[in-house]
Amino acid sequence: MSTKFGRLVPLVFSKRGFSTSTSVQKGGGGSEEGLKSLNLCSAINQALHIALDSDPRSYVFGEDVSFGGVFRCTTGLADQFGKKRVFNTPLCEQGIVGFGIGLAAMGNRAIAEIQFADYIFPAFDQIVNEAAKFRYRSGNQFNCGGLTVRAPYGAVGHGGHYHSQSPEAFFCHVPGIKVVIPRSPRQAKGLLLSCIRDPNPVVFFEPKWLYRLAVEEVPEDDYMLPLSEAEVIRQGSDVTLVGWGAQLAIMEQACLDAEKEGISCELIDLKTLIPWDKETVESSVNKTGRLLVSHEAPITGGFGAEISASIVERCFSRLEAPVARICGLDTPFPLVFEPFYMPTKNKILDAIKSTVKY
């Protein structure tokens, strides 16, 4: 394995906001009682506590998870549930996922952690050729549906090449797995519990920029948010914006600025990328007539291309302008040039205006 200097990267606070607005909340934990203000990593931690508590056949393992994890998502788990169920593994990503597949194939809930999404590639063969095809290739005699692979994901301000990547598109071309990315603490807890209990292998990416910055009221009880269901988090009539993860916060700011210029934007959080909610995006674009997709990952081969092509197929006669994609550039993720690399609010705002004026 490669040497991973700086894995314990201290987070630098910024004035960047986060997306927690919810205009149409579906099953978000019921009543407003029993709420507690949590950040993203605490919400993840709560979800893991609930998963381990509610299912004695569930396990959490990976590099450095025993003491609480390098982002503190597994704090307190080993103390409460024991080192046989929450444990460190040797430093080997293909071994972590392969081990998880075997554990899940025996009917357990295997919650594997890959320390940074950038280091999930050594496990790519295990995820793509094994986990995704395990059920299909055996004629459903065997499955590893209990496997969930969670990993910190996305830009963090200073992660450079190997602590900033957004590899979701690599996995979206793989039938047999699900890919889920939350935007906020409340979403993360509900979505992660759904992933853990889903009968299919799931890759769950956690926007690490939000681990401590995103704070909101989160129900303390056990609740699940449905997979493969997008959410309209902002109603609008002139243009539809689609995104996921931390990028939604940037998009939301662009929507606010666009509104000052008389443009009404609808904002959709996709949440699950595979299988994705085509119907919600389609009905929105049929209303607005325009689509803009934004993601941190590089534009070529990014998941925005799949959304764009699908919507053009489905809404061709309704589209008033070409689909806009405002994404990361087609380069490795740079260190000092991050502000120019990222699909910023201004890039999105410019695209919104040119789309509406097309």
Nearer to other proteins, 103 or 293 (CB): 103
Nearer to other proteins, 104 or 281 (CB): 104
Nearer to other proteins, 136 or 358 (CB): 136
HSE-CB at 142 with a 13 A cutoff on CA atoms is 14
Q: How far is the CB of 66 from other proteins (least distance, A)?
A: 12
Nearer to other proteins, 112 or 342 (CB): 112
DSSP 340-357: HHS--HHHHHHHHHHHHT
Which residue from 44, 93, 72, 312 is spatially nearest to 204, judged by alpha carbons? 44
Which residue from 32, 95, 34, 53 is spatially nearest to 193, judged by alpha carbons? 53
- The C-alpha atoms of residue 194 and residue 176 are separated, in whole angstroms, by 16
Q: How far is the CB of 273 from other proteins (least distance, A)?
A: 25
- Amino acid, single-letter form, for residue 65: V
Q: How far is the CB of 49 from other proteins (least distance, A)?
A: 19
Nearer to other proteins, 177 or 255 (CB): 177
> Would residue 161 show up in a list of annotated catalytic residues for this protein?
no
Q: How far is the CB of 173 from other proteins (least distance, A)?
A: 18
Nearer to other proteins, 102 or 289 (CB): 102
- The C-alpha atoms of residue 12 and residue 213 are separated, in whole angstroms, by 10
**Interface contacts to other proteins, rule CB under 8 A:** 84, 87, 89-90, 92, 94-95, 97-108, 110, 125-126, 129-130, 133-134, 136-139, 141-142
Check if the beta carbon of residue 314 is closer than 8 Å to that of residue 276.
Answer: no
Q: How far is the CB of 118 from other proteins (least distance, A)?
A: 19
Q: How far is the CB of 107 from other proteins (least distance, A)?
A: 7
Catalytic pick from 93, 113, 229, 231? 93
Reported in sequence order, the residue ranges of the chain that DSSP labels E, i.e. its strands, are 35-39, 58-62, 86-88, 109-113, 147-153, 178-180, 202-207, 215-219, 231-234, 239-243, 265-269, 272-274, 291-298, 324-328
- The C-alpha atoms of residue 216 and residue 39 are separated, in whole angstroms, by 7
- The C-alpha atoms of residue 108 and residue 52 are separated, in whole angstroms, by 11
Catalytic pick from 49, 63, 113, 163? 163
Check if the beta carbon of residue 169 is closer than 8 Å to that of residue 132.
Answer: no
Residue 70, beta-bridge partner list: none
> Would residue 32 show up in a list of annotated catalytic residues for this protein?
no
Only one residue has tokens 């699940």, namely 224
Helix (H, G, I), strand (E, B) or coil at 296: strand
Asked whether the CA dihedral 292, 295, 299, 301 is positive or negative, the reply is negative
Q: How far is the CB of 326 from other proteins (least distance, A)?
A: 38
Which secondary-structure segment (H or E) carries 300? none
Nearer to other proteins, 101 or 218 (CB): 101
Q: Which residues are catalytic?
A: 93, 163
